[in-house]
Structure 1
Amino acid sequence: MLRVAIVGASGYIGGELLRLLFGHPRVTVVAATSDRLAGRRVDGPHPNLRGHTDMCFVGHDALESVDFEVLFLAAPHRETMGKMAGFLKLAETVIDLSGDFRLRDPETYAFYYGATHTAPHLIPEFTTGLPEWHRAELATSDRISIPGCMATAGILAVRPMTQAGLIEGTVRVDARTGSSGSGVSSGPAGAHAERSGALRVFAPSRHRHEAEIAQATDRTVRMTATGVEAVRGVQVLCHAKLASGVSERDVRSAFRAAYRNEPFVRVIAQRHGLYRLPEPKILTGSNFCDVGFAVSADDGTVVLIGALDNLVKGGAGGAVQCLNVRFGWPERTGLEFPGLHPN
C-alpha cells in the first residue's frame, strides 16, 4: 500500500481527498494536517466520514516524523510557494492543489495573484496535472500541479479546437461556480443570507483561471466568473470564432478524436433530452468532465461548454487521477462513482 499524507486537510478540498483516498484500494492515509484542528478527529469538519475513520488531525510539524511516499498539498495560494522547498524534502512525490505552480511565467503569476513568486526556480519542475493532455509526462513526474476547477473545465472544452486549428481570435469564457469554490473561509460574502438567490459576478475580468486557459490553449482569453445558487459545480461557456470553412461536423470530429479513449471526459452535444449539453448537476461527486458545443452557422461562431464537480475533477479527483497515472494504476481506481440523478 502506498503511504500518503495530506497538508491542509480541514478544508473542502482536503475533505474530498480524504473521502477518495480512504476508499482507494492501493493507498493508506497516514497523516492529515491542520494546525488549527490538531488533535481533533477528521470527521468533525468532515461529517460524511463518520464511521469510516478514527483519524485525528496532526500539526504540520508532525510530518517530519511520519513515513510516507506521496504528499498532497491542499494549502492556500500564495503560502504554498514559500514552503515548497521544505515539502519537497518530505516525500518522493508531491501533488500540489494550490495555484502557486500552475503558471509557467512568474510575471504572469504576479499579475493574477497580486504577489511576487518566491520560488520561481521550482516552477519548471512541476507537470500540469491534467492527464487528458499531459499523461506521458505525468507517468514519470514527481512534481505535479493540479489546475484550477474552472481552468480544467475551460481547457478541456477549448483545447481540442485550438489543437485542430478550428477557432481563431480571442476566446471569451463565461464561468459559473457553486459556493464551495470559495472554500471553508469564504467570509461574509459566503453567508447563506447573502449568497442564497444571488447571481454574484465576483470576477468581471482578470480571474486567475483565465491565465491557465490561455497558457494551455495558446489563445488570448478573457474570462468572467459568477457565483450561482449551487453548492458544488462548475460550468463554463467559451465563446469563439470558427476558422473559415469549419462545419459542425468538423467540431464534433475534433472532440471525438481528442477524447475518444478518455476515461473521464464525455462529449455531450445532443439535440434532444433534458441534459443535452454539459450540466454540473448530474456530475456531483464524480470525476467526470462533460464537454460539448453549439455551433451558430449564421455567424460562424461556436460556444464550447464544459461542466464538472469543482471539488472532484476540478480538485481532489483530478489529483487522485494523476496519482493513478504516476504509479501506473488504472485511472478509474478509487474514482468509480458516477454521479447522482436525480440530485
Structure 2
Amino acid sequence: MKNKKTIRAAIVGATGYGGVELIRLLQAHPRVEITSVISSTNPGAEIIQGFPHLTNIMLGTLDAVDPQLIASKADVVFLATPAGVAVELAPQFLQVGLKVIDISGDYRLKSPELYEKWYKRTPADAALLEEAVYGLCEVWGMEVNDTVRLLSNPGCFPTAILLGLIPAVAAGWIDLNTIIIDAKSGVSGAGRGLSLSSHFAEVNENFSAYKLNKHQHIPEIEQALTRVAGKPVVTTLTTHLVPMNRGIMATMYASVAEEARTDADFVNLYNQYYEDRPFVRVRKAGTWPATKHVTGSNYCDIGFAVDERTGRVTIISVIDNVVKGAAGQAIQNLNLMMGWDESTGLMFAPMYP
C-alpha cells in the first residue's frame, strides 16, 4: 500500500470531537477519500443533523459498526472512540484486512496491568499491545511505515508534554528526578459526552484541577520518557480544566543537570532535535507560546526560560488538543504509513484571533 496515490478511509466514532475533526481535515486531504463514517449510537441518521456546519461538505448517513461492510469500501479505519471500545473493535478490523489507527488510548500502554490499573478497564490482547506502534511522529516516526497494521495515536496531554521534554531528556540536560508537569486543557478534551464538570455554568469563569496523581496519561508519559532515558522515569502531573474550547498548555519544570545552560542553549538543542520536522516550532529565547498561536493547526510550539538563580528550566509547550493532540496527528501518522510526506493535507495556518 506504500505510496498508493489515494486511499479510502473510514471513521468510527464520527460524532465525537475527534471524529468530526477527522472529517474536516480529511475532506481537504488530497490523497484520502472518506468512504464511511460510523456511529454506534446513531446509525442511519444524516451526518448534518448533528453537525450542520458540514452542510454541502459531508453528505450521507452514519453507518453502523459492520467490519465486513466497512472493509469492503475502505483501506484504513480511524477509531475515534471512548476508552475501552477499541479493545473490542481493533481485532475485528485487523481480521478483515484493514489498517487501524486508534485514537482512543487502548493500545498506548505496553503493559496490560498498567492499562487495567489506570483506565479501570479490561486491557487489549497482550500480543496486539506489543504489535501496536506508538505514533509520536517527531520522535519515533521512523517506525511508522507501510508494514504497520495497528497504530496507537498518542494522547493529547502526552503529545504536548513529551514533545516539550524529550530533547532535554535525551541530551541528559535535566535531572529526571525533578520533573514536574503543570498542564491545562480546554473543555473539548473531555469529549462531547455530557457530564456535570463540562456544563457551561461549571466551566465558565472557573479554573479547576482534576485527577490529581490519577490521570490515565501519567503512565503513557512515563513509558515514553523511560524509553528515551533508558532508565525508569517517574513524574508528577497535575491537569487543569480551563474555560476555553480548544488548546493545551503544558508547563514543565526541572533542575538543569550539571553545567549551567541558557535559554539560547535550549533553543539550539531543540532546533537541532526537531530539524526537518515541520510541525514543531521552537521559539526564540525570551519569547513563549500561547494556545491561541496553534489553534486549529497541527503545530506544537515550544519555549524556554532558564532560571540561573534556582538552577531550573521552565519549558512551555502548546498544542490544539483536537488537532495535534488527536485528529491531525492521526493523519500525520497515516501519511507516514503510506510513505507520503508527513505534512500532506496538514499545512494550514492556525486560526487567529
TM-score calculated relative to the size of structure 1: 0.94
Match of 1:144 in 2: 151
How do 1:284-299 and structure 2 match up within 5 A?
Answer: 284-299=295-310
Q: Are 1:116 and 2:131 matched, yes or no?
A: no
- Specify whether residues 116 and 59 from structure 1 end up closer, same or farther in structure 2 by C-alpha distance, changes over 3 A only: closer
SS, match of residue 6 in structure 1? strand
How do 1:298-309 and structure 2 match up within 5 A?
Answer: 298-309=309-320
**1:29-77 per-position Cα deviation (integer Å, ceiling 9, x unaligned):** 1100012221222223233222212121111127535321101101110
Segment drifting more, 58-67 vs 226-235: 58-67
Deviation at 1:252, TM superposition (A): 2.3
Deviation at 1:325, TM superposition (A): 0.9
What letter corresponds to residue 163 of structure 2 in structure 1?
L
Distance 1:259 1:206 in 2: 31
**Contact 1:237/1:305 (8 A) holds in 2:** yes
User: What do you get for the CA RMSD once the two structures are aligned?
Assistant: 1.5
Distance 2:50 2:117 in 1: 34
State how many pairs are aligned: 338
SS, match of residue 139 in structure 2? helix
Distance 2:122 2:63 in 1: 30
**Contact 1:177/1:226 (8 A) holds in 2:** yes
**Contact 1:64/1:90 (8 A) holds in 2:** no
Structure 2: gaps spanning 5 or more residues? 1-5, 227-232
Distance 1:222 1:87 in 2: 36
Segment drifting more, 48-57 vs 59-68: 59-68
1:81 corresponds, among 83, 87, 106, to 87
Deviation at 1:261, TM superposition (A): 1.3
**1:6-47 per-position Cα deviation (integer Å, ceiling 9, x unaligned):** 111110000001111111111111100012221222223233
Q: Are 1:194 and 2:202 matched, yes or no?
A: yes
Segment drifting more, 156-165 vs 73-82: 73-82
**Contact 2:207/2:241 (8 A) holds in 1:** yes
Structure 1: gaps spanning 5 or more residues? none
What letter corresponds to residue 347 of structure 2 in structure 1?
E
Match of 2:257 in 1: 243
How do 1:331-342 and structure 2 match up within 5 A?
Answer: 331-341=342-352
Q: Are 1:163 and 2:163 matched, yes or no?
A: no
Q: Are 1:104 and 2:115 matched, yes or no?
A: no
Q: Are 1:95 and 2:101 matched, yes or no?
A: yes
Q: Identity of paired residues, percent? A: 36
- Specify whether residues 170 and 109 from structure 1 end up closer, same or farther in structure 2 by C-alpha distance, changes over 3 A only: farther
2:340 corresponds, among 306, 315, 329, to 329
Match of 2:278 in 1: 263
Segment drifting more, 98-107 vs 39-48: 39-48
Distance 2:268 2:15 in 1: 43
Distance 1:149 1:139 in 2: 22
Deviation at 1:302, TM superposition (A): 0.8
Deviation at 1:134, TM superposition (A): 1.1
Deviation at 1:83, TM superposition (A): 2.8
TM-score calculated relative to the size of structure 2: 0.92
**Contact 2:157/2:183 (8 A) holds in 1:** yes
What letter corresponds to residue 234 of structure 1 in structure 2?
I
Match of 1:179 in 2: 187
**Contact 1:174/1:224 (8 A) holds in 2:** yes
**Contact 2:112/2:124 (8 A) holds in 1:** no
